[in-house]
Amino acid sequence: MAYRTLLFDIDDTLLNFQAAEKQALESLFKKLKLPLTSQTYDFYHDENLALWQQFELGKISKSKLLVKRFTTLFDHLGISGIDGQKMEELYRDYLGEGHQPMPQAPEVLSDLCQSHDLYVVTNGVAKTQQRRLSEAHFDHYFKDVFISELVGAQKPAPEFFQRVTADIQPYEPTQTLVIGDSLTSDIKGAASFGLDSVWYNPNHAANQTKIKPTYEIDQLDALETIVA
């Protein structure tokens, strides 16, 4: 089947979020003159992931999530008097500096944009995602960038994809493909809206859910065969 419209996630699909997250947390702890151990990083990473999954389910607002991850982290470390909102603002600036491409991402985007309509679909914070795409020199590949806080709904909700596709012309569901690394956000969202999907799974993680992608790849250049 030929696909014309490609909807790309950003984090850990096109840009290396794991690297950006670690660099940002290291910079924050350096600013605070605190040591960042691997155990502390792992705690933050797991807590942050769990909170974003709650956000996907509509159980927590994004503004509360962004602050809670830091109040929880410093409570865990036994450090009092920390302003979670201030920590979020400092961290956000550092995170915006992280725009390391995922392997093959620049080449694949450069190739595909010549024959397909490319869009971004992300739940990330708008200002940060826009900066990261720009500094990675990826923004010019996309016809539009759809960010949950601007769309007014988040992946995997059908409302998110309904609002996104309403702004895409021409839009044909059978020619539209969602590409992302998250089963619970990208792939579930695509399935809930009746769209085909590609699960980008470079580390060969086990699928422990009932969510089934249309395709699974471990290298981004495999997309070129799928969408041809």
Residues 6+ apart with CB under 8 A from 131: 96, 99
Residues 6+ apart with CB under 8 A from 46: none
Q: Locate all alpha helices (DSSP H) within 14-157, ordered by sequence.
A: 17-31, 38-56, 62-76, 84-95, 105-112, 126-135, 148-151
Long-range contacts of 30-38 (CB under 8 A, 24+ apart): 31/90, 34/79
> In the numeric block, which tokens belong to residue 163?
């609002």
Q: What is the pLDDT of residue 165?
A: 97
Q: Tell me the pTM.
A: 0.92
| Domain definitions of the chain by residue range | 5-16+101-226, 17-95
Q: Which amino acid is at 115?
A: S
Would you place residue 228 in the very low, low, confident or very high pLDDT band (cuts 50, 70, 90)? confident
CB 177, CB 121: distance < 8 Å: no
β partners of residue 8: 120, 179
As a whole number, mean pLDDT of residues 39-43 equals 97
Would you place residue 136 in the very low, low, confident or very high pLDDT band (cuts 50, 70, 90)? very high
Q: What is the pLDDT of residues 7-29, one digit of tens each?
A: 999 999 999 999 999 999 999 99
Long-range contacts of 83-89 (CB under 8 A, 24+ apart): 87/28
For 29, 130, 149, 215, the CA distances from 109, given in Å and listed in that order, are 35, 17, 25, 18
Dihedral through CA 190, CA 139, CA 142, CA 154, nearest 10? Answer: 30
Active site includes 9?
yes
For 120, 157, 161, 173, the CA distances from 164, given in Å and listed in that order, are 10, 11, 5, 12
5-16+101-226 matches 17-95 in fold: no
- End-to-end CA gap in the chain: 8
As a whole number, mean pLDDT of residues 179-200 equals 97
Which CATH code, of 3.90.470.20, 3.40.50.1000, 3.90.640.10, 3.40.50.740, is assigned to 5-16+101-226? 3.40.50.1000
CB 201, CB 216: distance < 8 Å: yes
Q: What is the pLDDT of residues 75-106, one digit of tens each?
A: 999 998 889 999 999 999 999 999 999 999 99
CATH topology assigned to domain 17-95: DNA polymerase; domain 1 (1.10.150)
As a whole number, mean pLDDT of residues 96-125 equals 96
As a whole number, mean pLDDT of residues 61-67 equals 93
**pLDDT exceeds 80 at position 179:** yes
**pLDDT exceeds 80 at position 181:** yes
**pLDDT exceeds 90 at position 1:** no
Q: Which of 9, 11, 12, 181 is catalytic?
A: 9
> In the numeric block, which tokens belong to residue 50?
């769990």
